[in-house]
Amino acid sequence: MNNAKGFILILFHILQIISISKGQLKVGFYSQTCPNAESIVKSVVKEATLVNPQMPPVLLRLHFHDCFVEGCDGSILITENVSNPEIGANAHQGVEGFEQINDAKKELETQCPGVVSCADIVAMAARDAIFLAGGPSYNVETGRRDGKISNIKLAADMPDVDDQIDTLKSKFRNKGLSEKDLVLLSGGAHTIGTAACFFMSKRLYNFTGKDNFNDSDPKINPNFLPVIKNQCPKDGDFDVRIPLDAVTSDKFDDQSLRNIKNGTAVLSSDARLYDDEFTRQVVNSYADVDQNLGLKKVSSFAQDFAKAMVKMGRIGVKVGSDGEIRRVCNSFN
Ligand code: HEM
Ligand SMILES: *[C@@H]1O[C@H](CO)[C@@H](O)[C@H](O)[C@H]1NC(C)=O
Ligand SMILES: *[C@@H]1O[C@H](CO)[C@@H](O)[C@H](O)[C@H]1NC(C)=O
Ligand SMILES: *[C@@H]1O[C@H](CO)[C@@H](O)[C@H](O)[C@H]1NC(C)=O
Ligand SMILES: *[C@@H]1O[C@H](CO)[C@@H](O)[C@H](O)[C@H]1NC(C)=O
């Protein structure tokens, strides 16, 4: 009896060692090795948001752009001592939040040197950003390791704002994400934050290639068209930023999906989610929920979005002994 118990214990132990050496993401990966890791990141995000209320969308977008190139491995953070780093790619235009990630890393290195990866800091910061903007709170998986590659060419297959729906679907499928994930993550995340008029020029003035004032996406709600054209005039300043969700810009809610249904989505890629029968149904499954009907009909958007974020956070992760734990986030060790 005792022998059998002992044997099972040893077997369990061996299995545990195998799973650790193989490595995997898990909630609370740093609970023993750096117990304050999550609270340190949270307070950096909180303080940065007090200084600049636009930090939550910035940090959320940063995680997406990290995960879609070489997996969620902090490759987007590399700015130093590399020729042609990934961050120089057009697809990453306007991506920010580096300073805040570097700040969190500095703090973490003083408490637990060499333990917490930059990729995990980005994932934790995105989670905290969503919550600060009024979105769901969720347990974030950690245990990612930092990548050792950053090259501008590797960003070539990022989704583009002017992509058609089939291209968007296949770019997400290539990352192991479903069409529902596409709707939730891109259509859903664009409930906060802003876009530069730069990204609107084709949609507003050159949609079919005719390049004139009236060559706009016909799917734009006719009442919204003059409003958005006024915000982003044809020969105006392309750096001007406009809210992605014109209704509740700073609140993380399901409004951006309602906007898609109403033809008032700002980005072309969001509007395209209504071109396809399946993705349209997914949009409607959230947009059609009557917010005034009480608990029974409350949209499951927030919880579904959180699940999709966890899934996105698993793309191409390096675990176990792959990659490295960077000393600073903007440079390889
Ligand atoms: C189909 C895929 C996607 C496309 C084509 C796309 C495109 C864009 C573009 C063009 C902007 C404006 C950028 C700027 O002017 O600085 C933007 C902003 C943003 N995107 Fe996406 N996006 C996609 C998916 C996602 C996903 C999956 C997330 C997060 C889960 C995300 C989060 C954000 C956020 C939060 C902003 C606002 C950033 C800010 O205010 O600084 N996007 N996106
Ligand atoms: C980049 O390389 C230079 C010269 O080797 C070095 O002094 C500097 O500290 C490096 N920068 C980072 C962030 O590692
Ligand atoms: C308008 O679109 C056409 C076709 O895609 C392209 O050749 C042309 O350069 C665009 N014009 C501008 C001003 O971007
Ligand atoms: C655009 O359409 C408006 C109204 O339909 C018309 O008055 C105007 O001349 C058109 N502009 C161009 C450049 O085609
Ligand atoms: C749809 O968009 C128009 C134009 O912005 C707006 O006036 C209207 O209230 C919106 N309708 C819904 C149901 O959101």
196: three-class secondary structure by DSSP: strand
The CATH number given to whatever domain includes residue 83 is: 1.10.520.10
Surface-to-core class of residue 10, CB atoms within 10 Å of its CB (0-12 exposed, 13-18 middle, 19+ buried) = exposed
Instruction: For the beta carbon of residue 288, count every other beta carbon within 10 angstroms.
Output: 13
Nearest CA to ligand 4 atom 3: 214
Q: Does the predicted TM-score (pTM) go above 0.85?
A: yes
| 23 annotated to bind ligand | no
User: Are 45 and 143 in the same domain?
Assistant: yes
Higher per-residue pLDDT: 124 or 8: 124
User: Are 63 and 138 in the same domain?
Assistant: yes
Q: Is the pLDDT assigned to residue 17 strictly greater than 60? A: no
Q: Which of 139, 158, 177 is the last residue of a domain?
A: 158
Nearest ligand to the C-alpha of residue 326?
A: 2
330: three-class secondary structure by DSSP: coil
pLDDT value at residue 292: 67
Nearest CA to ligand 3 atom 1: 209
126 part of a folded domain? yes
Q: Is the CB of 221 under 6 A from ligand 5?
A: yes
Residue 190 Cα, ligand 1 centroid: separation in angstroms?
6
Q: Is the CB of 212 under 6 A from ligand 4?
A: yes
Q: Which of 243, 278, 301 is the last residue of a domain?
A: 243
∠ CA 214-220-222, rounded to 5°: 75
Q: How confident is the model at residue 1 (pLDDT cuts 50, 70, 90)?
A: very low
Q: Is the pLDDT assigned to residue 330 strictly greater than 90? A: yes
Q: Is the pLDDT assigned to residue 94 strictly greater than 60? A: yes
User: Are 132 and 206 in the same domain?
Assistant: no
User: Are 118 and 206 in the same domain?
Assistant: no
277 part of a folded domain? no
User: Are 98 and 203 in the same domain?
Assistant: no
Tokens of 327: 């000393």
Q: How confident is the model at residue 205 (pLDDT cuts 50, 70, 90)?
A: very high
Q: Is the pLDDT assigned to residue 246 strictly greater than 60? A: yes
Q: What is the secondary structure of 11-61 as a DSSP string? A: HHHHHHHHHHHH---EETTTTTT-TTHHHHHHHHHHHHHHH-TTHHHHHHH
Structural domain span for residue 210: 194-243
pLDDT value at residue 289: 86
Nearest ligand to the C-alpha of residue 159?
A: 1
User: Are 58 and 118 in the same domain?
Assistant: yes
Higher per-residue pLDDT: 9 or 239: 239
Q: Is the CB of 195 under 6 A from ligand 1?
A: yes
Rounded CA-CA distance 228/283 in Å is 22
Residue 213 Cα, ligand 4 centroid: separation in angstroms?
7
Rounded CA-CA distance 63/168 in Å is 18
| 248 annotated to bind ligand | yes
Q: Is the CB of 178 under 6 A from ligand 2?
A: no
| 85 annotated to bind ligand | no
Report the greatest alpha carbon distance in the chain.
84
Tokens of 307: 């699940």
User: Are 119 and 35 in the same domain?
Assistant: yes
333 part of a folded domain? no
pLDDT value at residue 271: 98
Nearest CA to ligand 4 atom 1: 214
User: Are 31 and 102 in the same domain?
Assistant: yes
pLDDT value at residue 8: 53
Rounded CA-CA distance 278/272 in Å is 12
pLDDT value at residue 182: 98
229 part of a folded domain? yes
Q: What is the secondary structure of 104-142 as a DSSP string? A: HHHHHHHHSTTTS-HHHHHHHHHHHHHHHTT----PPEE
Q: Is the CB of 232 under 6 A from ligand 1?
A: no
pLDDT value at residue 21: 46
Nearest ligand to the C-alpha of residue 327?
A: 2
Closest C-alpha to 102, from 31, 48, 32, 150: 48
Residue position matching structure tokens 């709600």: 221
Rounded CA-CA distance 61/189 in Å is 8
User: Are 132 and 237 in the same domain?
Assistant: no
Q: Which of 228, 243, 258 is the last residue of a domain?
A: 243
306 part of a folded domain? no
**Do residues 284 and 40 make contact, with C-beta atoms less than 8 angstroms apart?**
no
Distant-in-sequence, close-in-space partners of 57: CB < 8 Å, separation ≥ 6: 129, 133, 192, 193, 194, 244
Tokens of 120: 């995990």
Ligand 2 nearest atom to the CA of residue 328, by list position: 13
Q: Is the CB of 99 under 6 A from ligand 2?
A: no
Nearest CA to ligand 2 atom 5: 81
Tokens of 324: 């490295």
Q: Is the pLDDT assigned to residue 34 strictly greater than 80? A: yes
6 part of a folded domain? no
Q: How confident is the model at residue 65 (pLDDT cuts 50, 70, 90)?
A: very high
205 part of a folded domain? yes
Nearest CA to ligand 5 atom 11: 262
User: Are 115 and 223 in the same domain?
Assistant: no
266 part of a folded domain? no
Q: How confident is the model at residue 12 (pLDDT cuts 50, 70, 90)?
A: low
Phi first, then psi, for residue 194 (nearest 5°) are -135, 165
**Do residues 266 and 217 make contact, with C-beta atoms less than 8 angstroms apart?**
no
User: Are 38 and 89 in the same domain?
Assistant: yes
| 190 annotated to bind ligand | yes
Distant-in-sequence, close-in-space partners of 268: CB < 8 Å, separation ≥ 6: 161, 162, 202, 203, 217
Q: How confident is the model at residue 197 (pLDDT cuts 50, 70, 90)?
A: very high
Let me know if 63 is a catalytic residue: no
Residue 102 Cα, ligand 1 centroid: separation in angstroms?
21
Residue position matching structure tokens 């991506």: 95
User: Are 49 and 133 in the same domain?
Assistant: yes
Report how many domains make up the chain.
2
Residue position matching structure tokens 């697809």: 91
pLDDT value at residue 5: 62
Distant-in-sequence, close-in-space partners of 293: CB < 8 Å, separation ≥ 6: none
Q: What is the pLDDT of residues 250-282, one digit of tens each?
A: 999 999 999 999 999 999 999 999 999 999 999
Q: Is the CB of 198 under 6 A from ligand 5?
A: no
